[in-house]
Structure 1
Amino acid sequence: MGERKVTVAAEVGLHARPAATFVQRAKQAPMDITVAKAHGGDAVNAKSILAIMGLDVRQGETVVISAEGEGSEEVLDELAEIAGKP
């Protein structure tokens, strides 16, 4: 299973527009993808905007994005870039 640890840079955290962009990209991937706060908490479905918003990830917090399957490394790189953008 591949994973990326990303510190969220957006001022609004992983909410609103960054969350929507993140979920849109995740939905394009054929594999299951999860996101969790790096310092505890359950992993949630990265393809669910409600689940992502429910994590309440704020600027400066670190998340772990995980996926497994063919093409997952590329998808993880793209999602990490989205989550880490200011």
Structure 2
Amino acid sequence: MIRFEVTVKAAGGLHARPAALLVNIAAKSQSQVTVTRSLDEKQADGKSILGILTLGAGRGEQLIITVEGPDEEQVAHALQELFEQPEES
């Protein structure tokens, strides 16, 4: 199991586009991906676009991502890279 924290950098928070990118990475994997909003510990399945959107994570919020499964290292790396991309304006 790999667990790491990221910061939402997108200007509109974790809205449709960044959420879709996250779900796309998670859905292609064999691992279970869980996204937890640090503020209130609300959790969502990383493979569910609706679940990710209902987190309502705004810009600057911290998320904890947990990846567990046979390809967890690759998936965790891809998700970390996604959140390290420069801020959107």
* TM-score, scaled to structure 1: 0.89
CA-based RMSD: 1.3
Number of aligned residue pairs: 86
SS at match of 1:43: strand
Alignment of 1:1-86 (within 5 A): 1-85=1-85, 86=87
Q: Which runs of 5+ in 1 are unaligned?
A: none
Q: Which runs of 5+ in 2 are unaligned?
A: none
Change (3 A) 1:23 1:78: same
After the TM superposition, which segments of 4 or more aligned residues of structure 1 sit over 6 Å from their partners? none
SS at match of 2:63: strand
Q: In the alignment, residue 27 of structure 2 is paired with which amino acid? A: K
Instruction: Tell me by how many angstroms 1:29 deviates.
Output: 0.5
SS at match of 1:24: helix
Range that drifts further, 7-16 or 76-85: 76-85
Change (3 A) 1:6 1:49: same
Instruction: Tell me by how many angstroms 1:44 deviates.
Output: 1.0
- Deviation by residue 1:4-62 (Cα, 9 ceiling, x = unmatched): 10011111111111111111111000011100112332321000000000000111001
What is the aligned-residue identity percentage?
37
